[in-house]
Every structure is written in structure tokens, then in C-alpha cells.
Amino acid sequence: RKEVEQDPGPFNVPEGATVAFNCTYSNSASQSFFWYRQDCRKEPKLLMSVYSSGNEDGRFTAQLNRASQYISLLIRDSKLSDSATYLCVVTNYGGSQGNLIFGKGTKLSVKP
Amino acid sequence: EAGVAQSPRYKIIEKRQSVAFWCNPISGHATLYWYQQILGQGPKLLIQFQNNGVVDDSQLPKDRFSAERLKGVDSTLKIQPAKLEDSAVYLCASSSQPLDIYEQYFGPGTRLTVT
């Protein structure tokens, strides 16, 4: 079983739609969780951190369920500019360092 | 603030040849990472440096890959000899502290094609 698994995608949605991405992780000791965004042929960039209490940033809402080892990202009122690949990321700490473990990503295409 | 710099941006080589990539992290960032991103997959950590010391190279194929960060600033990643399956984007990232890993900043990457 892969450490981080995401919806296969791609997701093709019209502008204004609400879209949700899901992610599961296998290591119950994982400590921090994030969503990164990667535009085509560009580097990944941090979109938002994910907290157990849930967090919202404008049109984006992230949720974490530690018991189910499940992470989600909800995008409301999709814009054309939201088209990108969304990477689910977890961290495992060991000693004085930590590693980011990325999922394969889910591609989102928002159409006019 | 200047971002993470990488060169070259693109490289095409034949299998069994050697190749080297260069990375200059954000000024003052002590931690530097090299990732390999194969098409359709997420980035995979190859090696992590803290200043000029290696703290994690467990996923680096050491029979053909090597990396160094001699003065704790710039870093080079080398592949010798290259295989077809090494075709990927090689991303360098840096962060100011080892546990501030969510603050990793990525460079634009080097796209390697092995023919």
C-alpha cells in the first residue's frame, strides 16, 4: 500500500463548480499534513496546511480525520485559474529532520 | 528575495552517459533537498542536507547517484551512468530549518530525458 493515495482524477469541472479531493495515508504516526499545488511544468507550491479542526482559506477548505487517516480539500466556486495538479502531502518526523511524502496528485481542469 | 535556482533547465543525454545538476538554495537556508519527479507521480525525496551534512539519503540509488553540498550552500546531484528510467524532473528545495519542512521552497527543476 502506498504511503499517500489520492483520487486518480482527472477532474473536469465547469467554472463555479464545487470540487472535492480526497487523500488517505498509511502511516498513523504521520504528524503534519498539507496540500500543494503544481501547475503544468512548474514546481510545487504550498497551498495550505491541514489541521484536525479543519481550516479555510477563501474558497479552499481542508479537513483532516486522524482516526480514518483521511485528508480532504474542497474548492468552492472554481475558477479557470484553479486548473492544476493538487498534491496531498504528509510528513513523518525522525530525529531532527522530517520528510515530505507526496501523493501522485489529482489533476483538476476547470472549463469555461 | 531570490528563489531557489537550478541549472540546467533541460538536459537530454543517452543512456550510460553522465549528467550533473546544480542547485543554489535561498540565501540563509540551511536545509536543502533533492527530489525526483517522474511524469504522473509526486516528487520523491532523494537526499536531504543540513548545512553540508547528509541527514537522509535512504532513497538515493547510491550505485549511480551522488550528491554533495561542500560549503553548505550550493549543491550538485550527479547521475553516472544514466538509465532510461532516470528520465524525470529533478527538483531542488530548501528550507530555513529542518522541521520547517512545510516552508520548503522549490526551484523550477531540471527536466532530464535519457534516450
State the Cα–Cα distance between residues A13 and A16, nearest whole angstrom. Answer: 8
Do the bridges between strand A11-14 and strand A106-111 make them parallel or antiparallel, or are there none, so unpaired? Answer: parallel
Q: Is the peptide bond before B61 cis (omega within 30 degrees of 0)?
A: no
The answer to whether residues B46 and B66 touch, using CB atoms and an 8 Å cutoff, is no
User: Which of A48-57, A73-82, B52-61, B68-77 has the highest average model confidence (pLDDT)?
Assistant: A73-82
Partners of residue A86 in chain B, C-beta under 8 Å: none
pLDDT score of B12 more than 60: yes
State the Cα–Cα distance between residues A93 and A90, nearest whole angstrom. Answer: 10
Residue whose entry in the numeric block shows the C-alpha cell 483532516: A64
Task: Grade residue B101 by pLDDT with cuts at 50, 70 and 90.
Answer: low
How confident is the model at residue B77, as a pLDDT?
Answer: 98
Q: Which residues pair with A102 in a beta bridge?
A: A89
Work out the angle at residue A71's Cα, subtended by the Cα atoms of residues A65 and A77, and round it to the nearest 5 degrees: 120
- Stretch 4-23 of chain B: residues touching chain A, C-beta under 8 Å: none
3-state secondary structure of B45: strand
Partners of residue A101 in chain B, C-beta under 8 Å: 45
Partners of residue A103 in chain B, C-beta under 8 Å: 42
B98 and A97 in contact by Cβ < 8 A?
yes
Pairwise pLDDT comparison (A97 vs A25), residue with the higher score: A25
How confident is the model at residue A32, as a pLDDT?
Answer: 86
Q: How many CB pairs under 8 A join A and B?
A: 58
- Cβ neighbours, 10 Å, residue A78: 21
Task: Grade residue B99 by pLDDT with cuts at 50, 70 and 90.
Answer: low
